[in-house]
Amino acid sequence: MADPSPSTYSRQVHVPDGFLDASTSVATGAAAVAGLALALRGARRELDDRTAPMAGLVAAFVFATQMINFPVGAGTSGHLLGGVLAAVLVGPWTAVLCISTVLLVQCLLFADGGITALGTNITLMGLVGVGVGWLVLRLIKAVLPDRLASVTPAAALAALVSVPAAALAFTGLYAVGGEAPIPLGSLATAMVGWHTVIGLGEAVITGLVVSAVLAVRPDLVYGARSALTARTLELRPSKRAAA
Amino acid sequence: MGPAHRRRTHVPGRTPVHRAPAHLKLLALLGFMLVVVATPRTAYPAFAAYAAVLVALIVVARVPLGFLLPRMLVEVPFVVFAVLLPFIATGPTTTFLGLTVSEPGLEAAAALLIKATIGVAASLTLAATTEPHELLAGLGRLRLPHEMVQIMAFMIRYVDVVADEMHRMRIARESRGFRGSSIRQWGVLGRTASALFIRSYERGERVHLAMMSRGHDPSGGRS
């Protein structure tokens, strides 16, 4: 296994064991199971019998891409979380499966994220992160004209919103099952504020990757399918031949 | 990253912990951690007992500390959070090392550190004593949906291939003089990620076609 060394492993913080109480952990575990069952059905519509190899390879891609350091300056760097990117590229249900698989592997093989917090992590990053991102994407695409050029800004905005949305959901869970008395108002402000900064980075990276894939293989971008089918064949006879 | 940084998640061995069925180990880990998480945060004798059980298990399984300790660094972000906790939490205050801190915050920070550390060490012990393919079989026996097990199997099987591909792209970039030091380089890195996605996706399609041409049944024998 490609085990990222700790120095390059400054990835998003996964909730460990003991951060939320046992009953909240069990409840989010149940939510995660229900969400995964729905995602398995939905992914079959997106990928039919190719689901297992395709989702597996995309999960490996997300895992590897999270290791790319995007330099911010002053020796620090950020990295991609990838939920909205995966949703735009392969569809929301497959993205939920991919992110959940990545979280499962990180938890079981690298102890990144506690096993009792696995449901919490899948709920936050898989269900809320991808779900909110996909809803925002649909909303923006409903407003913008259905063209390939609309996909990149829609994906970037969706990524921008999805990160603080997951942070807000975490604050909500903490209000129910948090183990330390932290004033919730300031926790929410700190979480959403900091994750908006992370979301800005996520938005830029997601936009860059989506636009680069659109430039060479627009047919692989799930979020661009409606724009592609609406596109008609265009004849561009060269001026020299006409003359 | 890349081959130099590829580290094992598994320590081969023939101890009783290694030989125990994977699904039982998974259930034991989940049950053990649920008990640890549900333990009241000031029950220090109970935590000492859990730690003793875990240490005994690590000794029996002969997991070297040189394997365990570097991998335990994944919990560092939470150590930082735990250190801040006594200062941001509310409630009655107390004096600790000459600083005035929140008493419930201090207790919660200690409990978080203890529980998260036990969790990381226990999960790493499971990973060290169970090969990934056994883990997958165990998850299947625990009724994780067949498709989910398959997705995870494909991910584990191909993650090194994809990571190596990324590593080769990085060598190529750097041999052309690329140095990632500021935000201006994000475009190049974004295009690298997009190329990696296209290659991964196309590899997935080739794998699927190769499987189908060898008579693979996507339903896994179920109709």
Per-residue confidence at A45, pLDDT binned at 50, 70, 90?
Answer: confident
In B, which residues are within 8 Å of A46 by CB distance? Answer: none
Position B172 scores a pLDDT of 93
Range A87-112 average pLDDT: 92
Per-residue confidence at A3, pLDDT binned at 50, 70, 90?
Answer: very low
pLDDT 10s digits, B53-63? 999 999 999 99
Nearest to A9 among B74, B191, B196 (CB): B74
Position B220 scores a pLDDT of 59
Per-residue confidence at B171, pLDDT binned at 50, 70, 90?
Answer: very high
Phi and psi at B95, nearest 5°, equal: -105, 125
Inter-residue contact A94 to A47 (CB < 8 Å): yes
Position A10 scores a pLDDT of 43
Q: Which residue of B has its CA nearest to A221?
A: B198
Q: pTM for this structure?
A: 0.89
Position A113 scores a pLDDT of 86
DSSP β-bridge partners for residue A76: A73
CA distance A209 to B80: 32
Q: Which tokens sit at B18?
A: 């290694």
State whether the Cα torsion A208-A214-A219-A223 is positive or negative: positive
Question: Does residue B7 sit at the A interface (CB-CB below 8 Å)?
Answer: yes
pLDDT 10s digits, B110-162? 888 999 999 999 999 999 999 999 999 999 999 998 889 989 999 999 998 99
In A, which residues are within 8 Å of B173 by CB distance? Answer: none
Inter-residue contact A144 to A153 (CB < 8 Å): yes
Q: Which of B147, B194, B198 to mutate to test the interface with A (most CBs of A within 10 A)?
A: B194
In A, which residues are within 8 Å of B115 by CB distance? Answer: 16-18
| Side-chain half-sphere exposure of A16, counting CA atoms within 13 A | 30
Prediction ipTM score: 0.89
What value does the mean pLDDT of chain B take? 87
CA distance A107 to B124: 9
Range A156-180 average pLDDT: 90
User: Chain A window 223-242: which residues touch B at a Cβ cutoff of 8 Å?
Assistant: none
Nearest to A110 among B74, B112, B181 (CB): B74
Range A155-164 average pLDDT: 94
Cα–Cα distance list, B38 to A172, B84, B180 (Å): 20, 23, 45
pLDDT 10s digits, A58-83? 999 999 988 888 887 767 777 888 89
Is a pLDDT exceeding 70 seen at residue A8?
Answer: no
pLDDT 10s digits, B70-82? 888 888 877 888 8
Position B183 scores a pLDDT of 82
